Structures are given as C-alpha cells and as structure tokens.
Amino acid sequence: MTNAMKEQAAAWDQADVLSRFREEFYLPAGEIYLDGNSLGLLSKRAEKSVWEALSAWRERGIDGWIEGERPWFPFAERLGAMMAPLVGADAEEVMVTGSTTVNLHQMLATFYRPQGARTHILADVLNFPSDIYAIQSQLRLHGLDPAEHLLQVKSEDGHTLDEDAIIAAMSDEVAVVVLSAVLYRSGQLLDMERITQAARERGILIGWDLCHSIGAVPHRLSEWGVDFAFWCNYKYLNSGPGSVGGLFVHKRHHGRLPGLAGWFGSNKEVQFDMDHHFTPASDAGAYQIGTPHLLSAAPVYGSLELFREAGMEQIRRKSLSLTRFLMELVETELAGMGFSIVNPRADNRRGGHVALVHEEAVRIAHALKEAGVIPDFRAPNILRLAPVALYNSYTDVWEAVQRLKRIMVEKEYERFEKKRGVVA
C-alpha cells in the first residue's frame, strides 16, 4: 500500500499543471515546508519586485513617486486591482494597505455605529485573538463593556462552528458581525454566502477575515454582498513577513467617510492641495490611512503575478487534492497512533490546511522540524499541515507522512520537552 501511494504521488506530480511554479520559489534545502498557512515562502518574483523598488529609490529618489514602470503614488491602487480577482471583487473595491488588525480597526471605526438596541458585535470563540482585541477596543471607544456587547458564538467541539448557531445569534441587538472565512486552528471553511445573506436579511452589516482563505480559496465578495473584508498577504499569498495587508469595501458603501481618516485616503487629484478639509477617494482607496509602506508592498506585486498566471480555480483544485491525499495518508499510515483529523472532510467545507489533534502535538512538532518537516503548532494539541499548491508536491506530502510515521514508531518525540517555543 505504501509503495502504491508513493507511485501515485509521483504520477500526480508528473501530471500537475502547476508543478512549473515550484521552481519559482526558494525551497528550504533538504526540508519539506508545510507551514505556508502561517508564512508563505519567498518567490523569485517577489524578490525581484523588492529589488526593483530599491533600484527605483536609488536611481530616482523622490521622483519614484511619479516616474518609472511602477510609480509609488498609485501603487496601492494598482495592487488592489491585481488582487481583486482573488476575492471576487471589482478593482475599486479592493485596496492593499495597512495590516489585518489596523484594517479591522478601520472597518469597525467606519461601520460600527451603535444605535438604539443595536449595540452588539457578533463574533465567535474560535476567532484569532487579534480580531477579538480589536473588537473589544472599538466597543470601549464607544463607552461600552465588551463583556456585555461582544457576543461570541460557542463551539460544540472546540474546533468548528455550527452555522445555524451563528445565524440564530443574529438578533435585533447585533449591529455588526465579524467572522473568519477559514478558522485558523481547524481549517473549517464557513459558508460565507449563506451567512452573509442571513446577515443582510436581518439588516446587519457583516465583515470577513480572509487571512486563512485568500490565496487558497476563491471568493465572490461583491456578488455575495459582503459589506467589508480584511486580510494579511504573508500566508498563502507569499508576500513576506509583515507585508502590507488588504481590505475590501463593497461599492454600495463607497462615498462613506472613513472612521479613521488619513491623507492617503484622499482623492488623489486633490491630495497634494494640502487642504485641511478631507476629500476622500470615491472608492476603497478612501480607507487608506498613512503613506504606503512601499518596500513591504513591493513583494505583493511579484507574488500576484504568479497568481494571475496560475489562476485561483486551478490553485484551489490542487490544494483540495493535496489535503485530501494528506488525510488519506494520515488515516492509512498513522492509524492507531493517536491522531485525530479535526478539520472538515468535505471539499466545500475545508480551507487549505489539515488540522491534526494529538496529545503529544508540541513534542511531535519539535521532532518533525528536526526531521526536516516544517509544521505549525497551535496550543494545546493541534498540528497544522498546509501543503501549498504553488510550491508543494504530492511527493512532499507522502514523504512528510513517512517521516512523521517514523517519529511515532520510534517515539523520537519523547526526546523533546513538552513546551512550545516563544513563537509557535
């Protein structure tokens, strides 16, 4: 069985239409990198884009703002237009700017307007902590107690959410809903269309965190009627540690004054008039705040070139196939070794990673790294493995599971302390 699956992996690699993109990335020598849902690898295109930005600075100085192949002044808008197809939006609805948390603050500062009984923000207990911190902060700025005005949908199993429970919590007291498209721990993909429709039917604004879905899962934000969305670009979009994030604002909200105004949210025709009267851009550009971080935005350009060439549908197809193969291997090769798959099995309910629960997960993660497999650990007991369509192969997946099997059979994990690193 093992040899047959190895041969099957090799055959799939041979037929893989995305295999040519593997050579576009700097793959760690001798390692199998399965942590692209935390930080994607550097591509040669992204690296080239950074060098081009540095060259423009060196050669043009301040004229780089308006001269050259990619002048800096409209660069964020240009990136937004390139990114729009990944989220199913019009170019003017997307902006590459800020960071995940800053963009969420901007969205809530703009759209959260507690009135009458509608004072609550609805989220969930499995959301990424930074989103919750931002929501709590915005409630306090309105003089409201988060303990009362932040509603968090519970999880029955500690890993996934019941969408019926989410919709049932959309009461007349809820002003805004903030959810993650893909849950960062378990990899559950929520039915964004259904939940968004339910919110709109109830007159509730809804925003989505796309950090663990953009670049792995196609979206149709504009068609679904999503009010706003926000995300980082350093996971599946491979744009580098701390790279500039992104946001979406549906065109029906364009013309609305941003809650946090800054000069780069100005209409570009009058931005340099230096008038103390703020004239916002007529599109998602209005939600920029400060001057773009050009050197952090530069790699986004090269990365998006790859996505434009590969196509999100093909990326999603391979991603699902890779994770499906990984789950099959876990069930056959690691049977009886204490692993439980906690991400949804159905293709339409799964993001880009597989989540394995094991009581020794932290020590297994250490052992995997020593064995040349780079996983991701989430306390207290989850191993996240993310085979990325653009640079991982089916053979990578097969070999990673063989190394994990050896670790379990020989109990190599017992040599490690049961303690995570400062950065997990």
Q: What is the pLDDT of residue 3?
A: 86
Distance CA 159, CA 185 (A): 7
Judgement on whether residues 39 and 55 belong to the same structural domain of the protein: no
Residue 192 in contact with residue 212, Cβ under 8 Å?
no
Whether 377 and 395 map to the same domain: the answer is yes
What is the per-residue pLDDT for 324?
Answer: 98
DSSP string for residues in 365-393:
HHHHHHTTEE-EEETTTEEEEB--TTT--
Q: Are residues 234 and 345 in the same domain?
A: no
Q: 223 and 369: one domain? A: no
Residues 6 or more apart from 131 whose CB is under 8 A from it?
100, 101, 104, 123, 178, 180, 209
Same domain, 252 and 239: yes
Please report whether residue 152 resides in a domain.
yes
Q: Residue 423 has what pLDDT?
A: 64
Question: Do 301 and 322 lie in a common domain?
Answer: no
Cα Rg, the chain, nearest whole Å: 22
Q: Residue 141 contacts by C-beta under 8 Å, 6 or more apart in sequence?
A: none
**Of the residues 255, 284, 309, which one is the last residue of a structural domain?**
309
Element containing residue 15 per DSSP (H, E): helix 2-15
Considering the domain architecture, whether residues 174 and 81 belong to the same structural domain is answered as: yes
Give me the half-sphere count of Cα atoms (radius 13 Å) on the Cβ side of residue 20: 5
Annotated binding site: 100-101, 128-131, 209, 212, 234, 263, 291
Q: How far is CA 246 from the centre of its chain?
A: 10
Tell me the three-class secondary structure of 124-145, residue by residue. Answer: ECCCCHHHHHHHHHHHHHCCCC
Q: Residue 13 corresponds to which tokens in the numbers above?
A: 């690699």
CB 35 within 8 A of CB 350: no
pLDDT at 419: 82
3-state DSSP: the chain helix, strand, coil percent, rounded to 5? 45, 15, 40
Ranges of residues in the chain with a pLDDT under 50 are none
The verdict on residue 29 lying in a domain is yes
Overall domain count for the chain: 2
CA distance 247 to 98: 9
CA distance 34 to 397: 9
Could you tell me if residue 417 is inside a domain? no
Report yes or no: 216 and 316 within 8 Å, Cβ to Cβ.
yes
pLDDT tens per residue, range 23-73 = 999 999 999 999 999 999 999 999 999 999 999 999 999 999 999 999 999
Same-domain check for residues 333 and 235: no
Q: Catalytic site residues?
A: 128, 209, 234-235, 384
Q: Do 295 and 181 reside in the same domain of the chain? A: yes
CATH of residue 171: 3.40.640.10
Which residues contact residue 107 at a Cβ distance below 8 angstroms, ignoring those fewer than 6 apart? 207, 228, 230, 247, 249, 287
Q: Is residue 399 assigned to a domain?
A: yes
Whether residues 260 and 364 share a domain: the answer is no
Identify the residue whose tokens are 């008038």. 275
Domain assignment present for 258: yes
Q: Which residues contact 335 (CB under 8 A, 6 or more apart)?
A: none
Q: Where among 278, 309, 340 does a domain terminate?
A: 309
Neighbours of 115 (CB within 10 A): 7
Beta bridge partners of 178: 207
Binding residues for pyridoxal 5'-phosphate, as ranges, are: 100-101, 128-131, 209, 212, 234, 263, 291
Same domain, 169 and 283: yes
CA pair distance 149, 53, nearest whole angstrom: 45
What range defines the domain where residue 338 resides? 2-43+311-410
Q: How far is CA 360 from the centre of its chain?
A: 27
Answer whether residue 422 is part of any domain: no
* In the block, residue with structure tokens 């007529």: 282
In this structure, are residues 36 and 27 in contact, taking their beta carbons and an 8 Å threshold? no
Q: Residue 280, SS3?
A: strand
| pTM for this entry | 0.97
Instruction: Name the amino acid, one letter, at 383.
Output: L
Domain boundary among 260, 284, 309: 309
In a domain, 424, yes or no: no
Quick one: 331 and 282 in the same domain? no
Q: Looking at residue 28, which CATH number applies to its domain?
A: 3.90.1150.10
What is the predicted pLDDT for the residue at 422? 60
Distance CA(160)–CA(158), nearest Å, equals: 6
185 located within any domain = yes
**pLDDT score recorded for residue 2:** 79
